[in-house]
Structure 1
């Protein structure tokens, strides 16, 4: 490609005819250099751009210095109009050349579709997430919807509305992770990391009248020292069922079915009296050891039974808190049950994991076992 390096000639006059002739010569020069341009070469396209549009030595810069600056005031408008038309012509030819250069580069890098594909390694669900999803899906098949809520909660939703008295040990910072500098707020408005997913039960009941059937998976936080069986972060799945004529028999039937779905049809359940501030009566639930069939082994401490979750009938006092925003929860007309289980412990049982820290360490060698 050859491009003219001749200096810009001086204008002999400033009439429209003289200006038309001068700019027509430059436009022919643009067309000539564009026609000779090798548009498949990115270097040639860049050379064309610098030749015409270069900020220091480009031809248009030379035209501006030689003609525009020397033009009398009355000719500047005519010169400006023709200069802009010339610049537009240069940019149009540059766009054409750039498009051709890009198309050529794509052709050079075209994919050969006849080559065999490269297989992508598929990931696998983390054992915690896999267990959590399995539990949730069991209750979804029973007609439960999934509820979610914030991990940073107020004292009201985490404790007060769930019938925890003001002096309950769970409110102490030895058990609960609280947000700093909350002392000036009323106790019910102070922020903390939720210690269970139960606040979602209250929030759900406040937002919709009965009947309610929800299962609540999520991350919770407690001020526990990390060891083989404890972690300051762990996961829970809780459930809530509220309607007319809900009885403890419904609770037992629901959990018995869920445990059989989770661990196999041979698993049995049994209930022992317990205490939780938000349920009355309350119970701990044990399942027959799915590893030894109830005969006794190390995993069940040779008892044949494993304690797995807590449950109970919703305390009428809890409905009393909800009634402040949702009058439909009259404890004289409705009843309900709630339950909760630790996902981490169930995952450790199902997959033979001895240290809860392995679930959070991110060690790929450990996680690859579940791929």
Structure 2
């Protein structure tokens, strides 16, 4: 039998998420990165060119300026899309929605990120929860970092028959670390002006059955988000039952304060020690030793790497849209192997 051709993937936008998606695609045996489109010609795009990635201008107007800056630009976005089966749009918020017309005209499947509205694609994606419903679609939206973590953890409880309803408080980082010199907040906390905050309804766009409400506050740090959750269970349960439910998801890593992982900076340092690119934490890092069960009430907290958590789901979304892999567990396992998901558990001797 002839070997199946690899899925040809383009990435539009080489920022915080885009560069991580690009590196993850390059690790997949069943995918081929055909190029990167962007409007910039600063150090980020220059590094991408040094890595050997094909560079394209995201608009016709940027083609000549990028070439004058010394970049070997292969063409414009239309040229790139002509070589792709799927495009992953990692452009800034509200830009991607405008690109959808181009993608549809070129008849290329597309994946948007969580900054765009659910209505743009009519489908929102978290691999643990609804992989099968994305199979063969022309598009999907990988939800935001906070929503991804919410759906992952609540789905684990739901699959174990433990989840009745959930209420979460989100401590949100002020801005992305690489641009903290440009803005953010200092010496203050900024509550989101509405309850529920947008993450709860966004989680319901993935799974309408979730009874979830969120509140959020922006805090003056840039490393990661921190969530606190109160969950009403379907009945009285033991701590071991809850932990086993979380262990069933490869993308939830149980960590402990007793291991010295007492703060989000310590967890990030562990990612560096594990050799993760960009210190990426792809998993939800959930503190097992502070988790508490009181009758049918569950209390827990976890860390969310806003720059990395959506990367595995984006890779899985590519497989789902193309129908290349119809089994969610097989896609998740393949992605996890390529990214080293599970290394935290192994390093802590809990594999």
Query: What's the TM-score once normalised by structure 2's chain length?
Result: 0.25
Structure number with the higher strand fraction is 2
Q: Which has the higher contact order (CA 8 A, sep 6+)?
A: 2
TM-score, normalised with respect to structure 1: 0.24
The answer to which structure has the higher helix fraction is 1
